[in-house]
Amino acid sequence: MKKQDFFNLEAVEAMDRVDGRLKVTGAARYSAEFPIPKLTYGVLATSTIASGKIQSLDTKKAERAPGVLAVISHFNAPKIPGYSEGSNPAKGATTKGQPLRIFSDDIIMFYGQPIALVVADTLERAQFAAGQISAQYQKADFQTDFDGNVSHADYPAQAKNRNSTGDYVRGEVDAYKKAPVKIEAEYVIPTEVHNPMELQSIIAVWDAADKVTVYDKTQSLKGAQGTIAQAFKIPAENVQVVATYVGGAFGNALRTWPHEIAAVMAAQKVGRPVKLVVNREQMFTMVGYRPYTWQKVSLGATADGKLVGISHEVIGQTSAYEEFTEGTVNVSKFLYACPNVNTSYKILPLNVSTPTWMRGPGEASGAFALDCAMDELAYQLNLDPIELRLRNHADIDPERNLPWSSKYLKECYQEAAQRIGWFKRNPKPRSMQSEDGMLVGYGMGTGSFSAGRSAATASIQMSADGTYTIQCATTDIGPGTATAMVQIASDVLQVPADKIKFQLGNSSFPKAPSQGGSSTVSTVGSAVTAVCVSLKQKLAALAAGQGESAAVKPADLVFENGKISSKDQSINISYTDVLKKHSLPSLDATEESRAGAERQKYSFYSFSVHFVEVHVHPATGQVRVKRVVSCADAGKIINQKTAGSQVIGGAIGGIGMALMEEAIMDNRFGRYVNNNFADYHVPVHADIPHIDAVFIDKKDPYINPMGSKGVGEISLIGMAAAVANAVFHATGKRVRDLPITPDKLI
Amino acid sequence: MNQFQYVRAVSSKTAVATLAKDPSAKFIAGGTNLIDLMKNGVTAPQKLIDINNLPLAEIKKQANSLYIGALATNSGVADNKLVLQNQPLLAMALNAGASAQLRNVATVGGNMMQRTRCYYFYNTDLPCNKRQPGSGCGALEGINRMHAIFGFSQQCIAVHPSDMCVALAALDATVLVSRPKGDRKILFTDFHRLPGDHPEKDNTLAKDELITGVEIPDNSFGKNIHYLKVRDRASYAFALVSVAAALNIKNGTIKEARLAMGGVAHKPWRLTEAEKALVGKPASEETFKHAAEIAMQGAKGFKYNSFKLKMAPNTIIQALKTASATA
């Protein structure tokens, strides 16, 4: 087949979402919305202590309440077969490294831990009955206070098991100390909760004694399938997971959580389908969160602004029963050229539920500290923050000592700086005022995240009527996955987008990895490309084989506008006519695609920069973000519109992180006090100005056939630093503990 | 949520009679706060008396005042021409409250009756003297960033969450009340109470009484008014501190002044001493600073809310500056 240059995509770059209309009309069906006959409703009762044992549980009133089918607790829960495998069930706060085994014993390890599940014939009746359950506890000492327990932080067992600390050293340890110019600063990010609009939802339907279908809010169909199959000791193919639409997740649906296992178990026990949707309060304790994180960044530089040393220490919170680690220190290893870098990552177990990845994840926390520290260093050196970054631009990946696959970070700085008018500002802190008397500040931050590609398989079926259906067990948590895949297929196949359907959200489709880590377009897009190429080869073989001149080889054929032709025009036939001539009702292909040796030769990252202008009220300390320019180097952008929306969403997440988000713990009780949408603040429309989302839009030559890298994480990573740096420029005040609320600025 | 009876009242008279008979009954209008409280188990009325059909949504100009029916919605009042002409401070305060969706159903009477947003009041397994007298005040030594700096007691340091009420307190409004024995009036500043030893009582309304409306006397503040709310985000956030300011300025001299604060006490905090300090003085920053100093006398902060000791006077000064500049 003649090599064609795919993915110019000019014609379809701003294609509307294929599911846009379904979403805005309410026709898109989310996990909790599937109409299932004989459905019952589960509601969880949760612990009101942070540590101890359940002494007794009074469930009589709940059991007698109208409509109740079952009240399940550790006293009567059927054994989850998979729980008896491997290590022993978690026994209190000392056992590490195991997910919570719901309803398997009387141990309470965090506030809000499920203690019972009520199943009733209506949601209201289940809620009422759950409220009738009362527990007696034997309370134990607990620790939820991060600051008060920092001395108990330790290296993760994962690292210690390898007889290592996991510390990273390049060059000399703490070389910053010897540098002529240095800064040392501590930063704190409080617990943040993903809080997507859609609550965590599951409907479990047992189709046979060993066969179950779950309509599950998940970012990982195969992950959910495997976890449920393992728990109930049934073959994976007997578990069907459906997640046709996902209403936001930001990482919290990457895992299958313990209460979801309970819903599947409950459906088995009551012999009817069970729907379990956690409430907003439970979203704070049952489905992960961004861990409370303390960081210290120390930078040393020469007088002319060349970095001499970076030291980055991190302590992140985890639960008492399971270790969670993330890449908080990662950015310090590669973002800037620096001969000496050392990082240290410790975790602090507390009586809280287990954290999980939240958009950007650790890299977003780390970049906040690193890029605020860079700003502090720039001011100390009396250098423009962009100039400092340019002087320390990493021309190759300094961590892996490999060339970048592609990197247009300098272009990002230039484009975004120009758009926001960076060089017109007076860089002196507290020097600028708006006409209405507000303190004006400009700030910037850099983001970067690994541009991944893993293995995925896609199938395609071409019908005789010229329509194409592609299937892959990926999800769409909001970025517009199906839209991008249709565009890719349209480009490779050379047929109009409206002839192509991309089906996702079902575990019975060919396998794909979790939708996380900004790699879906890269991974699934490659599989879609491969399967479309495969289909074209089949069409070519059929067309060439029956052509007048047998001399034409399939490789000499050209594919254009749904037609196959040879140079000499001895072959000129539409795809559909190929099928017709061979009396084929359809033509299928299935292909797997994975990364290759290029991963060893190059370092793959996406890059972003964020520039913001803030106005701060000098008397009240209120911060308003007035302008945002985010510029991303994410390779070839498949769809400017949906990718732009992702960048806007990430910027909003970053503004929330910088100015508002904080789950507040009352350490006397070990519980969050603001576990609702009125008190846990995320930005509202009035907080968000126009966000200018810009792409460099240049192909990465090595990553995948499309040349596309991800934008999900980089649109948030670096944003909080940009806001914090802008607040410093406006006020002269450096706030190092997020969120930057008005009380910290007066 | 508990199970409850639901009845619809056909007149104010039958409404209060039904309420008088049943100690656990509650009126429901917009329900924007009551339903939340019921869902959280903070309150569990056995009966809800729906008053939405009562003819109490009127807004009209009277001889020397503006009448607003208790069932007028927050957005209905904020957008009303008579309100904008006669009491723009009220409209401004209303628009600073809640969200557009909430304002569309929340009523004037319900806004007055809304309960504190103190975390400990809402979380039924934490101590709160207001929810459960004798259980202790969770906020006193807890997370008290949003809490009172004036008029609190050891029993309760919660604040009243309303913006509308701060304006009504400043504007010398009167509350109109219906009860089995006949109607009565309560000065707005006497309507809400301080916690003292009975934080479970938010206001002076008797158990068998129904708010039917408010009256706001005419004034000559004109455009010299301002409602300034400081909050953690631009909308749908309760006040850290808010200030309602109204000035009558003649030839640069303040003839009359009204000043009240929100987010600082168990009730809208009228600042009568500071008002006195403004009258007869030039409308200058110096005057405003002096008034703010007087306003802050007796204020006391707790672990997490001491910032209000600075934010409150700053906000008073800013509100007065803005009010005086908009002539």
Closest-CA distance of chain B to residue A218, Å? 28
CB B267 within 8 A of CB B168: no
Closest-CA distance of chain B to residue A438, Å? 12
- Supply the CATH number for residue B266's domain: 3.30.390.50
**Predicted local confidence at residue A551, as pLDDT:** 65
Per-residue pLDDT band for A539 (boundaries 50, 70, 90) equals very high
CB A240 within 8 A of CB A469: no
Per-residue pLDDT band for A178 (boundaries 50, 70, 90) equals very high
Residue A97 has pLDDT above 80, yes or no: no
- Supply the CATH number for residue B32's domain: 3.30.43
Contact B230 A621 (CB under 8 A): yes
Q: Cα(A729)–Cα(A727) distance, rounded to whole angstroms?
A: 5
Comparing A94 with A178, which gets the higher pLDDT?
A178
Give the residue from B232, B307, B311, B321 with the most A CB atoms within 10 Å of its CB, the best one to mutate: B232
As given in the structure block, the two tokens for residue A274 are 């069970």
Contact B237 A681 (CB under 8 A): yes
The A residues from 59 to 88 touching B (CB cutoff 8 Å) are none
Residue A681 has pLDDT above 50, yes or no: yes
As given in the structure block, the two tokens for residue A103 are 């309803």
Nearest CA in chain A to B120: A673
Contact A124 B1 (CB under 8 A): yes
**B196–A contact, CB cutoff 8 A:** no
In a domain, B253, yes or no: yes
DSSP string computed for A482-511 = HHHHHHHHHHHHTS-GGGEEEE-SBTTSSB
Q: Domains for chain A: give ranges and CATH numbers.
A: 10-28+454-535+582-594 (3.30.365.10), 34-141+198-248+253-284 (3.90.1170.50), 355-452+600-744 (3.30.365.10)
**Predicted local confidence at residue A9, as pLDDT:** 55
Give the residue from B36, B123, B310 with the most A CB atoms within 10 Å of its CB, the best one to mutate: B123
In a domain, B155, yes or no: no
Residue A94 has pLDDT above 80, yes or no: no
Mean pLDDT of A158-178: 90
Contact B230 A622 (CB under 8 A): yes
Closest-CA distance of chain A to residue B1, Å? 6
Mean pLDDT of A99-121: 97
Nearest CA in chain A to B315: A620
Contact A683 B233 (CB under 8 A): yes
- Distances in whole angstroms, Cα of residue A13 to Cα of each of A10, A490, A645: 5, 12, 13
Number of inter-chain CB pairs under 8 A, A vs B: 87
In a domain, B118, yes or no: no
Per-residue pLDDT band for B248 (boundaries 50, 70, 90) equals very high
Contact B232 A741 (CB under 8 A): yes
Q: What digits encode the pLDDT tens for the residues B43-57? A: 999 999 999 999 999
Per-residue pLDDT band for A613 (boundaries 50, 70, 90) equals very high
Planar angle of CA A177, A179, A180, nearest 5 degrees: 125
Q: What digits encode the pLDDT tens for the residues A574-587? A: 999 999 999 999 99
From the list A293, A246, A248, the residue with the least C-alpha distance to A653 is A248
Nearest CA in chain A to B307: A743
Contact A128 B2 (CB under 8 A): yes
Domain count, chain B: 2
**A671–B contact, CB cutoff 8 A:** yes
Q: What digits encode the pLDDT tens for the residues B219-244? A: 999 999 999 999 999 999 999 999 99
Q: Which residues, listed in sequence order, are joined to residue A188 by a DSSP beta bridge? A: A294, A737
Among A620, A678, A683, beta carbon nearest to B315: A620
Q: What digits encode the pLDDT tens for the residues A443-493? A: 999 999 999 999 999 999 999 999 999 999 999 999 999 999 999 999 999
Residue A129 has pLDDT above 80, yes or no: yes
Per-residue pLDDT band for A380 (boundaries 50, 70, 90) equals very high
In a domain, B214, yes or no: no
Structural domain containing residue B29? 5-49
The B residues from 259 to 288 touching A (CB cutoff 8 Å) are none
Among A620, A681, A746, beta carbon nearest to B233: A681
Q: What digits encode the pLDDT tens for the residues A501-535? A: 999 999 999 999 999 999 999 999 999 999 999 99
Average pLDDT of chain B, as a whole number:
97
Contact B233 A742 (CB under 8 A): no
Element counts in chain B: helices (H) and strands (E): 13, 12
Q: Cα(A258)–Cα(A74) distance, rounded to whole angstroms?
A: 13
Contact A128 B123 (CB under 8 A): no
In a domain, B36, yes or no: yes
From the list A357, A325, A358, A360, the residue with the least C-alpha distance to A344 is A325
The ipTM (two decimal places) reads 0.97
In a domain, B116, yes or no: no
Residues of B in contact with A741 (CB under 8 A): 232
**B234–A contact, CB cutoff 8 A:** yes
**Predicted local confidence at residue A87, as pLDDT:** 46
Among A131, A620, A659, beta carbon nearest to B318: A620
CB A379 within 8 A of CB A301: no
Closest-CA distance of chain A to residue B214, Å? 28
Per-residue pLDDT band for A546 (boundaries 50, 70, 90) equals low
| CB atoms near residue A555 (< 10 Å) | 11
> What is the set of active-site residues of A?
713
Among B234, B236, B314, beta carbon nearest to A624: B234
Query: Phi and psi dihedrals of A360, rounded to 5?
Result: 90, -10
Residue B169 has pLDDT above 90, yes or no: yes
Average pLDDT of chain A, as a whole number:
95
The packing angle between helices A481-493 and A520-545, to 10°, is 30
Nearest CA in chain A to B1: A128
